[in-house]
Structure 1
Amino acid sequence: MDDVLAEDLRQVIGELVRAVRAVDTMPSGEAATLGHLDRGGPQTTADIAHLRGVTHQAAAKTVKELLGNGLVRAEPHPHDGRKLLLHITDPGRARLQQERSQRANRLNTAIRDTLNPDEQKRLRECVPLLARVTAGITGR
């Protein structure tokens, strides 16, 4: 039974994430990179690659696009002159917030339009449970 629950949860959460991301206006790799820089502070391209689970080359391509659009800036790494430390810029933070707002609005509309108040309350009660499951997977 636990295997069935795990698979059902994996499938429905995946579908939910894809449905919410359908309103995105920027590539998912760029949004993910901006999110890591926003939440975790300055990072190297290697750090970003590791966090995103992609190759260094893929992360470097994304970083190049973000740099070109002024959404991130680079400065020499303070401890390793061979590396660059990436920072999210104010325009990058604004663009990320726009993406997050669009996603939240889409999700909020769906919750409001498809769930009655009691169901909305029950869904709210599930959020801490999902956070604990996520922590159990990530170790954080």
Structure 2
Amino acid sequence: MPTPDAATVAAELRTAMGKLTRRVKGEDVIPLGQIAVLGALDRDGAMTTSDLAADQRVRPQSMARAVGLLLDQDLVTRRAHPTDGRKSLVELSPAGRAALEAERGRRAGWLALAIESELTEEERALLARSAALMERLAARRGASGGS
């Protein structure tokens, strides 16, 4: 059996991962942009609106609107910056953490059900091994792979 060309596998994998990611995100109840902000705050902790805008690669004005919507829904809170009185930090509220976990649960639930209903036992085992390989690829640093 010929070895698949790495470039072909890479293109097919990127396409498939993109489709699967979009499908899983389709389970979200909270808009994607807001989920991304909640996820960033969960991952990185409290941030200024400017830092969030840079993290999400959006204009500060757009982030200010998103943060305002999240504040209105009590999904985030705002507190004074500890060293700069001109700034404030945005952080997840308990309700925001619960909403984020619910979204993650919906995504994982949909994916688990799809795996169970669509794949054979052999395919599920192959997918489990593939997940470990994808983790290895994700851990690779830089274009040359050096650390």
- Tell me which amino acid in the other structure corresponds to 2:38: L
TM-score in terms of structure 1 length: 0.91
Partner of 2:131: 127
TM-score in terms of structure 2 length: 0.87
Percent identity of the aligned residues?
A: 39
Deviation at 1:5, TM superposition (A): 1.8
Partner of 2:51: 47
Partner of 1:92: 96
1:104 is paired with a residue whose SS is: helix
Structure 1 residues 69-114: Cα deviation after superposition (integer angstroms, max 9, x where no partner)? 1100011111222221111011111111111111111100110011
Q: Which aligned pairs between 1:23-62 and structure 2 lie closer than 5 A?
A: 23-62=27-66
1:70 is paired with a residue whose SS is: coil
Q: Does 1:102 align with 2:143?
A: no
Partner of 1:8: 12
Aligned length: 140
Deviation at 1:137, TM superposition (A): 6.0
2:140 is paired with a residue whose SS is: helix
State how far apart, in whole Å, the 1-side matches of 2:108 and 2:84 are: 39
1:7 is paired with a residue whose SS is: helix
State how far apart, in whole Å, the 1-side matches of 2:33 and 2:141 are: 22
**C-alpha root-mean-square deviation of aligned residues, in Å?**
1.9
1:6–1:42 distance in 2 versus 1, CA, 3 Å = same
Partner of 1:78: 82
- Tell me which amino acid in the other structure corresponds to 1:119: E
